[in-house]
Each structure stands twice: as C-alpha cells, then as structure tokens.
Amino acid sequence: MSESPAAQRTVAITGASGMIGSALSEALRERGDQVLHLVRRAPRAEGLPAGVTEAEWVPDERRLDPLLLDGVDAVVHLAGAGIGDQRWTKERKREILRSRVDGTTAVSEAVAAHGSRVRLVSASGVGYYGDRGADVLTEESSLGQGFLAEVVRDWEAATWHAEQAGAPVVHARSGIVLAPQGGAMARLMPLAKAGLAGPLGSGKQFWAWITLRDEVRALMFLVDRPDITGAVNLAAPTPESQSTVVKALGEELHRPTVLPAPTIALRLALGQMAGEILGSQRALPTVLSDAGFTWEHPDLDAAMEWLVQAQKDAKDGRGTTEKGSEGSHEDVAEVE
C-alpha cells in the first residue's frame, strides 16, 4: 500500500480495532513495521497477529504510562466515542467531546515525556470548518460554527503538551471515509443497492470524501513525514456535492438515486445531528498535495469502482473486514 520507510518503525495506535485503525495496523505490518495497540482492557500476550503487541491505557482517566512509548517512533491517535452511531442527547454530546479531549490529553502528555522524539499523528475532522456552503476550504481557513466545530477545536487543543515539548504533531482532519464496511457507507450502501439512496436535503452540500485505502495511505505518509505539522486535510482532491457522490455510487451499482430525504424528515429523525449532516465542507487537501502525496482514488469514478469491488471481495471472504471497536469507543477519523 505504501513504500517502506528507510528503517523499520514501531508505531503505537489507539482505536486499533476500529475501521480505520485496523486497516492502518495491517498496512503498517505489511510494510514491515511493528505495531503497538493501545487498548482499554487487559492486554493480550498470545493470539495476536505477527508484529502486534498490546498495552493498556485508561483514556477516561487521562492515563497513558509514558514508559509504554519507550522505543515507539510514532503514535497515531484515533480513539474516541462514535459521532454518528447514536442520537445526540446532551449526555452523548458530552461523551463525544470528553472522550476526545481526555484521550488526546493522555496521549499528548505521554508523548511530551519523550520530548521531541515521538511523532504524534492525532485524528481530527473537517467538521472544524462548520457549514461553509460552496466556499473552498484549506488548512488555513478559519474555525466554523456548530457543535462539531467546537469539538474539533478542543480536540486539537488537547495536543498542547506534546507541542510544547517540541514533538512533531499533526492534526489529521479527515473527511467522510468511504469504506466497503463501516463508516458512512454502512448505512448508504444497502439503500443504494435497493435503489433507495438519494440526496440528503438539497443534496447540494459538499462532502470532503476519501476512500479508506487513501485514508490509511495518508496516515502512513504523515507518520513518515514528521516535518509536516499542524492541520492537514485528509480528503480526495475533488470534493463533490452529496447528490453527486450518491449518484456515482448508484451508477456503479446500476441503481437509481433519485429519492431525496427531505430536510424536515432528517431533522425529526436525527435531531441536532441533522444540521451537521446537512452541512457543507468543500475542503481541499492542500498540505498533502504540496507535500507530494498521490491518491490511488483521486476522483469518484475510481473511488466507487474500488468501493463496490472491495465490498464484493469482503462479502466473498477475500477482503479484510475493517470494522470493530472496543466498548463504546472506536476510531474517529471521520468527523464530517
């Protein structure tokens, strides 16, 4: 999936059992790296894939023993409570924010104990920009408004300890991750196959999307490039409207995508979450592009062809099943 680095690395991952984390762990091991899974239960010593070890951390208490990072070259921090799997009650919103701030603080403080030696790639999301219509957004764009924008602001701020210690920290602002199983496609794909997928609201809102394969490749690229710090948009170079994304999926599946989900129905069904889903982020991956990253799926045609084939392979048992979580936490790189 990615060229091997000059030397074998040891990479620690939080959220390693989630959709993105499990795919990242596998890709790192495929290129010869060692992987440390930071888990929220008693670590296992047996029955693990080759190249994997486990260690326990307690994100709810902001505890990660810095000694666990001895010999670790980079930490990819993906863990947190899911964004779209439950209705946003007041308690759920507190959990979404708390899990990100507490977990990131724990990782940041542990990295800080090692000074400038450990690379930190910390998950974030394009939700930082809020609902911005057709405005073109880059990493230099300002903070938007809304619940997710506030979450991302506090989430990114929690890396302060590592940054102050001189560690190279990058905030990987992911868009909507298109995966054969899990993520947004877990809900959309069955509807599309039945010919029932259509625009959400007006369908004109922009989706900053990226395939799971390119998401993992981008994270590995950032692991290998500690010279890149600050915010980095993880998205394809061609953001499209939501209706265009759904139409491309329907065409690949040879199914119609004309039935819209009315805005009022979404708001009744999803509450405040609907406002975020109907928001628009036309985010461009300027930093990745300027750094020389190349996409395997730079446009929707390539993305949908891969997505549909990958799901067929997974169903037939020929592909990797990239899903799973530990308790109520999962990887959270998709925060649209």
- Identify whether the C-beta of residue 131 lies closer than 8 Å to the C-beta of residue 282: no
**How high is the pLDDT of residue 186?**
67
**How high is the pLDDT of residue 244?**
85
pLDDT in tens, 178-195: 888 777 666 666 766 776
- What is the distance between the alpha carbons of residues 35 and 147, in angstroms, rounded to a whole number? 34
Task: Name the pLDDT band for 19 (thresholds 50, 70, 90).
Answer: very high
Rg (CA), the chain: 19
pLDDT in tens, 247-296: 877 777 777 666 665 555 545 444 554 555 668 899 999 999 999 999 99
Q: Where are the domains of the chain?
A: 10-331
CB burial readout 225-248, b (16+ within 10 A) else e? bbebbebbbbbbbbbbbbbbbbbb
**How high is the pLDDT of residue 307?**
87
Backbone φ and ψ for 13, nearest 5 degrees, come out as -130, 130
**How high is the pLDDT of residue 331?**
55
DSSP per-residue letters across 29-95: HHTT-EEEEEESSPPPSSSPPTTEEEEE-BGGGTB--GGGGTT--EEEE-EEE-SSSS---HHHHHH
Task: Name the pLDDT band for 199 (thresholds 50, 70, 90).
Answer: low
- What CATH number does the domain located at 10-331 have? 3.40.50.720
**How high is the pLDDT of residue 336?**
44
